[in-house]
């Protein structure tokens, strides 16, 4: 048996050369003692951070595993959802010993050598860009990635799930994210009916509905607020916070989904089709054959 904090201190010693070669140095949070390894504890997670040129390297224990993570953000501002996992090793403190720590150190050292060879940095998937408020004022509309970005900005506890969704599918799959994470959070807030939380939630939903593309409007009315299942108490909780148009459509959709006519639509919401990645468009045979000559045939 070995304590997690002791395992992280040993790992810090064993990774010294690999971390230095990757260009990182140990990061000491404010008020951390300089003569000790700065192990940070947050709930059921413990970690040690390293810093280099505004980037963060983190060795973290959580859920009986030790992971090596990287973020293109400084340690004092990096959020959990900013990190990309570089390596992960199972580690059970109750049965682990020094040999297990050495094994993790060797694995992480090899990963660091490969990922940061020649001064390069790991390829990190960028989060989708959000349409800005100023762009909307100039005639643009919020799209689904913008909605996901704004939603997880005001509910940062879902930021990691948002990033995982993008990493997994290569794009933001809004239906999947809201079905598993966003909608349950929204329904919980509506049931609680706390005025401050409701105002924060519906300020966002009203803005996104009013200035969003059709997919955003459908997501809000059907996928999210349509999941109230025509519950009169929940709908009553929302009425004073929704814009007039949003309110009318939410009530209409809830009644429809609760009716016999809306049964099939309700079943599709509860059991959406499996995700299919977008196929690359096949080249047009005729266009290739003519070498694009068609552009010169205009009269």
Q: What pLDDT shows up at residue 197?
A: 96
Confidence at residue 299, expressed as pLDDT on a 0 to 100 scale: 38
10-49: burial string, b at 16+ Cβ within 10 Å, e else: bbbebbeebbeebbbebbeeeeeeeeebbbbeeeeebbbb
Q: What is the reported pLDDT for 1?
A: 79
Compute mean pLDDT per 10 residues along the chain, 299 residues long, and list them.
86 90 88 83 88 88 88 80 83 84 90 80 65 86 92 88 83 90 96 96 96 94 93 96 95 88 66 52 44 41
Question: What is the C-alpha to C-alpha distance for residues 71 and 80, in angstroms, rounded to an integer?
Answer: 9
| Predicted local confidence at residue 116, as pLDDT | 83
Q: What gap in Å lies between CA 163 and CA 84, rounded to an integer?
A: 9
Q: What is the DSSP letter of 178?
A: I
- Give dist(CA 131, CA 141) in Å, integer: 7
The predicted structure's pLDDT at residue 298: 41
For residue 62, what are the CA distances in angstroms to 42, 103, 125? 10, 18, 23
pLDDT at position 272 is 55
Residue 264 and residue 269: Cα distance in Å, rounded?
Answer: 9
* pTM given for the model: 0.54
pLDDT at 191: 97
Q: With contact defined as beta carbons under 8 Å apart, do 188 and 224 qualify?
A: no
- Quick one: pLDDT at residue 271? 59
Q: Whose CA is closest to 18, among 102, 109, 94? A: 109
Predicted confidence at residue 275, as pLDDT, reads 47
**Predicted local distance difference test score (pLDDT) of residue 91:** 80
């Amino acid at each position: 048996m070995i304590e997690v904090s002791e395992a992280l201190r040993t790992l810090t010693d064993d990774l010294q050369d690999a971390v230095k070669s990757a260009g990182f140095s140990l990061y000491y949070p404010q008020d951390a003692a300089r003569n000790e390894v700065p192990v940070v504890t947050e709930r059921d997670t413990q970690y040690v951070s390293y810093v280099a040129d505004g980037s963060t390297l983190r060795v973290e224990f959580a859920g009986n595993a030790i992971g090596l993570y990287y973020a293109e953000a400084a340690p004092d501002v990096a959020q959990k959802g900013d990190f990309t996992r570089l390596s992960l090793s199972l580690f059970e403190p109750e049965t682990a010993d020094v040999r297990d720590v050495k094994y993790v150190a060797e694995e992480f050292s090899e990963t660091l050598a490969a990922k940061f060879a020649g001064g390069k940095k790991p390829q990190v998937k960028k989060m989708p860009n959000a349409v800005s408020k100023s762009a909307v004022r100039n005639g643009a509309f919020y799209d689904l990635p913008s909605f996901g970005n704004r939603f997880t900005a005001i509910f940062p506890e879902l930021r990691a799930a948002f990033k995982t969704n993008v990493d997994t599918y290569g794009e933001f799959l809004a239906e999947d994210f809201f079905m598993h994470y966003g909608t349950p959070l929204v329904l919980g807030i509506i049931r609680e009916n706390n005025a401050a939380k409701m105002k924060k939630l519906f300020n966002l939903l009203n803005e996104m509905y009013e200035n969003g593309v059709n997919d955003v409007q459908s997501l809000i009315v059907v996928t999210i607020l349509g999941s109230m299942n025509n519950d009169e108490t929940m709908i009553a909780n929302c009425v004073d916070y929704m814009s007039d148009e949003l309110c009318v459509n939410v009530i209409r959709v809830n009644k429809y989904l609760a009716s016999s006519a809306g049964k099939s639509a309700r079943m599709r919401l509860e059991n959406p089709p499996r995700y299919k990645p977008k196929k690359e468009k096949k080249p047009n045979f005729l266009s290739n054959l003519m070498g694009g000559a068609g552009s010169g045939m205009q009269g």
